[in-house]
Amino acid sequence: MTRSLQAVAYRHASVLESAAGGSRLGLETSRGATPAGVADHPRFFAGFLTSPQVAAAGLLAVADVAAARYYQPQLRASLDPVVTGNGDRLRFESFSGCGGVYARLDVLAPGLDGGPVGHGTTNVDVNNPLREALSRIGSDDPLHLRVGPEELTVTTLDGPVVEKKVPLPDRWLRGFAEAQVIAAGFDLRAELSADEAVRFLRGLPRAGGGRRAVGGPRWVVPVGRGLRPTTRPVPGAVCLPGPERLAALQRVLRHATALRVHGPAVTGGAAGATAAAWEVVLPGMRLTLTLSPDASRGFSGEGGVLDALATDEAAEDAELIAVLLAWEPRVDVADLAAASGLAPERVRAALVRLGTSGRVGYDTAEAAYFHRELPYDAERVERHNPRLRAARALVAAGAVALDGPVGTVTAEDGHLHRVRDAAGVLSCSCPWWARYRGGRGPCKHALAVRMVRRGTAAQRVPAAAAGGAR
């Protein structure tokens, strides 16, 4: 198993402090991606949480999963959650150390009261003292939330005072990719009221030691207003492998307004175990746990991304689609198809490709992708997208000039290339475009023009980047 050592650095430790009129929760951020490029400590939000106790419980649930190994639990795991600002919401994500449970807390617009929500993704520090403080938050305590440094203009001369170094297995990043690919095939299978949700979840076993269930995987089927266990995958059933892996949901049960269960279609017969997503609806937010098909089987080996990885077309399409994502909280395939000129099937394949580097996730509640940039191994992502990197270098060098539907790009050798926009479809006068006519995606010049038109800021790239792509 391939591992790398991931250094995560913060200016300070996250802390919950008492203040006049309530409490202040400061969540410190690490190095992460933003629309303006990579930032050391991006700031995404400063304002109040409308349901402080609910949000605190949800954050603790995400942290529980990040620190857990549900299979071989004697081995410890500790990976800080990831936070994404999507402009209208905050998403906190984590993966279990065993790679079989994915957790996400979506704090939606009704759950936030204050300043605007920024855009970007990074790690957020959740330490043991903070966990203890969050568990003591009362229901009536006003809570001011800050995600990012206190002052954006202040820098420390001595560097970060908190640094964590954790082993980062490749399977962890692959798990993020596989989980979103699998979840994209889910549909809503059941919705339970708050009372029924509490009754069902509190009846589940709390611990199972990561062992397989005797007699095969567990299944549940909607009956009336609740869920009933069944020994076989009848039509409409949802798999529940390793039910003890839903333990983190206990944190928020008393605040739940509903429980929604998402899973793939089951036609009956001797079908094998499947993954499923369990979503607890909360005031102003949602907490979702997605379980792999077996407690001993992480998401990384599911193979859902292999078809997209095996085609050059998906890789090239992903370069264009990545430019169009724009940190949207809800990525619509039809809109991307119209903007890119690609067929919806090619857009979906490109999104799968982007998911392999953690650049998109999937929200089962809204049946839509969302944009994020995981703060892990960004260099590898760039190496796999040389044309995109070259286009960013052209933008950064000021090589793009716009004149109505025509863009002029000054290449490294001084040649001028004309990029034309016809109903959202770009063409270029360069030899590469003349050879492929868009059959293998846009050239670096067309990508650069697309970036400038959409106001995408160029990220810093090595000086040799622009010369290495066609």
pLDDT in tens, 370-393: 999 887 654 454 444 567 678 888
252 with 321, same domain: the answer is: no
- Based on the domain organization, do 202 and 327 belong to the same domain? no
How many independent structural domains does the chain possess? 4
Of 53-62, 139-148, 212-221, 390-399, the least confident: 212-221
- 258 forms beta bridges with 193, 281
Q: List the beta strands (DSSP E) in 148-186.
A: 162-169
pLDDT at 325: 92
Distance CA 326, CA 105 (A): 21
The CA distances from residue 127 to 65, 372, 373, in Å, are: 14, 23, 23
3-class DSSP assignment, residue 217: coil
pLDDT at 70: 81
pLDDT of 469 higher than 50 = no
The rounded distance, in Å, linking the Cα atoms of 372 and 177 is 12
CATH at residue 327:
1.10.10.10
Write phi, then psi, for 369 (nearest 5 degrees). Answer: -75, 160
Residue type at 296?
A: S
CA 29/CA 46 separation, integer angstroms = 13
- Residue 5 resides in a domain: no
Whether 163 maps to a domain, the answer reads no
Rounded Cα distance between 76 and 295, Å, is 16
Do 361 and 396 share a domain, yes or no? no
**Are 409 and 436 part of one and the same domain?**
yes
Do residues 243 and 326 both lie within one domain?
A: no
Indicate if 331 and 368 belong to the same structural domain: yes
Q: Which of 208, 210, 228, 211 is nearest to 219 (CA)?
A: 228
Residues 282 and 337 in one domain: no
> Is 412 a domain residue?
yes
HSE toward the beta carbon, residue 201, CA cutoff 13 A: 26
Average pLDDT over residues 317-343: 91
Judged against a pLDDT cut of 80, whether residue 437 lies above it is answered with no
Same domain, 274 and 315: no
In a domain, 265, yes or no: yes
CA distance 374 to 358: 5
Q: How does DSSP assign 91-135, residue by residue?
A: EEEEE-TTS-EEEEEEE-GGGEEES---EEEEEB---HHHHHHHT
Q: Which residues contact 354 (CB under 8 A, 6 or more apart)?
A: 318, 321, 322, 325, 360
Encoded tokens for 396: 């950064």
Cα distances (angstroms) measured from residue 159 to each of 9, 42, 156: 9, 15, 6
The verdict on pTM exceeding 0.85 is no
Give the residue from 298, 331, 353 where a domain finishes. 298
Q: Which of 272, 349, 274 is closest to 308 using CA atoms?
A: 349
Report yes or no on 416 lying in a domain: yes
Range list of H helices, 377-443: 378-383, 386-396, 431-436
In a domain, 276, yes or no: yes
Dmax (CA) of the chain: 71
Residue 310's pLDDT is: 41
* Beta-carbon contacts of residue 126 (< 8 Å; ≥ 6 apart): 14, 27, 59, 62, 63, 66, 80, 81
Q: Are residues 278 and 368 in the same domain?
A: no
More confident residue, 384 or 411: 411
Q: Is 343 exposed, middle or buried (0-12, 13-18, 19+ CB in 10 A)?
A: exposed
Which of 349, 379, 409 terminates a domain? The answer is 379
In a domain, 1, yes or no: no
Q: Tell whether the model's pLDDT for residue 48 goes beyond 90.
A: yes
Please check the confidence at residue 75 and state whether its pLDDT lies above 70. Answer: no
Shared domain for 122 and 15, answered yes or no, is yes
pLDDT band at residue 18 under the 50/70/90 scheme: confident
Would you state the structure tokens that stand for residue 169, as one six-digit string?
Answer: 């297995």
In-domain check, residue 59: yes
Least confident of 47-56, 194-203, 225-234, 283-292: 225-234
pLDDT band at 347 (very low <50, low <70, confident <90, very high): very high
Tens of pLDDT along 105-141? 999 999 999 889 999 999 999 998 999 999 988 776 7
Is 339 found in the same domain as 284?
no
**Which CATH number do you get for residue 132?**
3.10.150
Mean pLDDT on 218-239: 90
Q: Is the pLDDT of residue 255 over 50?
A: yes
Instruction: Using pLDDT thresholds of 50, 70 and 90, give the confidence band for residue 306.
Output: very low
Which residues are paired to 17 by β-bridges?
24
**Do 374 and 412 reside in the same domain of the chain?**
no
> Of 298, 324, 341, which closes a domain?
298
Instruction: Please answer whether residues 104 and 84 qualify as being in contact, where contact means their C-beta atoms are separated by less than 8 angstroms.
Output: no
- Asked if residues 236 and 222 have their Cβ atoms less than 8 Å apart, the reply is yes
Sign, Cα dihedral of 442, 448, 449, 453: positive
Domain that holds residue 419: 385-468
